[in-house]
Structure 1
């Protein structure tokens, strides 16, 4: 990798993006962190001379030129609140095409090739149509969904309020995903036009997750198995945008159908180490659940 190269990491303060920045800079690579609130975020990398922070917004094309100035490679995830790719993501993809970037790593979704209604599928399809030099990371459900999306229910009600039925899920830690993304960006020729389905090392039910959380946290965690309809209506009542609630409900419907239990060795092969276990994740994020 040339000393002149700089990588744009969008969503740099997120669970995956933050690890991408960390792993790239640990290897001496300059990073531009694209964030929604630069002033607030600058303190995160105040001691890291390899990171410059800039305002970026997928919905504001005026932020694209400065974010891409001098950039050779790009990492991005789809912000969960953006559910209309043609309107809120495609303009950015076209801009990447115009700038002739050397590599774009996109965090998609496992099984996305079978789910054309998902925003991830539409983004992947447009990237291929534009002939962007892509790598698609298709992870299973994030372990960190538990300490973000579902944190309130665990903290306040000691319950996993998740409509997954009895299905199993091959959870993966976002820290592992971020490290894989950095590996791909640092070794572009080996990973161009690859579609990696990456999972954790085992598939577990939410009943099992509740049991493991109970043992590690020292407080009883239940799994209430709400219906898809009740879950969706509750999320909307809590103020989550309807489009986002719809996407969440659809993903859990896919889980109920048994499509989230697939386990692959791809992440292990890319990382060349043991993957983070669900038990280790719960222990690491213990204070987030209490």
Structure 2
């Protein structure tokens, strides 16, 4: 087992790299980047069939439930490097995730690249902070990929509001938010796995080039979709009820997103970095590029095929 300041050597170079949350937006990007680099990938998800459907025989597909020890051996055995994503429904990491990570350490995992949040070190309310704290003292070489607010949250979490109700309901006020594309975050995480010596025991905050208000976000969506999208600005209680009842979020996710939006409303979510450019050598994907690329997903079913060119 390496010391906290050591990184995995070349002994594990031909072994599979484990990617958890492999079918999600970031996990999928990590898998594809590693495969493109010629690496063997063990791709883990709650549903192994879904992993196989997405990647075919290009990966070793496994089923992983952090709360079910019967899934741990097949997932972690023989793995030295892994990408770690916290499932959003697991809001109590000390109980629901750390036992699995302790098991992974005993199985020989030497490097973990963890998908965290921008400013997680300052926000002890978010579950990511507890995982970061454990990793720092684990003896495992760690890299924190602290992502700002994902573009993809608007095409997943807030999809129904935008697509079906022509509105975006978040309690962020007029505060600006640093957005980032999941493709960029996944590529940065993969780079840390491909070059562990360079990124050992470092925190990388990954953002795009722009800090945008949600008023600006709906202006871009309005222009791209050809119909008016309204920015609603509820208070904390009304947002929490809306997120739970209309967006069907579990309460743990409601509280995490409320904390994130409150940070934005207070003007604390606008910080930008050069990480994408420094690590990947290219410009980050802008929100306008993302909106154009994904515009079909916000189009009501009855209007599919009638998008403006």
1:222 aligns with 2:257: no
CA RMSD of aligned residues (A): 1.2
Query: Normalised by the size of structure 2, how large is the TM-score?
Result: 0.90
Residue of structure 1 equivalent to 2:25 = 15
Task: Report SS of the residue matched to 2:41.
Answer: strand
Runs of 4+ residues deviating >6 angstroms: none
- Superposed CA deviations along residues 158-194 of structure 1, whole A, max 9, x for unmatched, are 1111111100011000000001111110001000000
1:182 aligns with 2:151: no
CA distance in 2, matches of 1:221, 1:191: 41
- Superposed CA deviations along residues 180-227 of structure 1, whole A, max 9, x for unmatched, are 111110001000000011111010100001001111111111111111
Residue of structure 2 equivalent to 1:198 = 206
> In the TM superposition, what are the counterparts of 1:126-205 in structure 2 within 5 Å?
126-205=134-213
Any unmatched runs of 5+ in structure 1? Answer: none
Contact 1:78 1:107 in 2 (8 A): yes
1:212 aligns with 2:220: yes
Match of 1:36 among 38, 46, 65: 46
Number of residue pairs the alignment of both structures matches: 288
CA distance in 1, matches of 2:195, 2:13: 14
CA distance in 1, matches of 2:35, 2:245: 41
Contact 2:43 2:51 in 1 (8 A): no
Match of 1:250 among 259, 262, 272: 259
CA distance in 2, matches of 1:240, 1:171: 21
CA distance in 1, matches of 2:136, 2:13: 29
Residue of structure 1 equivalent to 2:306 = none
CA distance in 2, matches of 1:4, 1:163: 47
Contact 1:160 1:221 in 2 (8 A): yes
Query: Normalised by the size of structure 1, how large is the TM-score?
Result: 0.96
CA distance in 2, matches of 1:241, 1:80: 9
Task: Report SS of the residue matched to 1:5.
Answer: coil
CA distance in 2, matches of 1:70, 1:136: 23
Go from structure 1 to structure 2 and tell me whether the alpha carbon gap of 1:259 and 1:189 turns closer, same or farther (over 3 Å shift). same
CA distance in 1, matches of 2:93, 2:13: 34
Contact 1:235 1:245 in 2 (8 A): yes
Task: Report SS of the residue matched to 1:183.
Answer: helix
Residue of structure 1 equivalent to 2:93 = 85
- Superposed CA deviations along residues 247-280 of structure 1, whole A, max 9, x for unmatched, are 1111111111111100111222111101100000
Any unmatched runs of 5+ in structure 2? Answer: 1-9, 300-309
CA distance in 2, matches of 1:244, 1:95: 26
CA distance in 1, matches of 2:131, 2:183: 23
Contact 2:82 2:113 in 1 (8 A): yes
Moved more, 122-131 or 36-45: 36-45
- Superposed CA deviations along residues 137-160 of structure 1, whole A, max 9, x for unmatched, are 011100100000000000111111
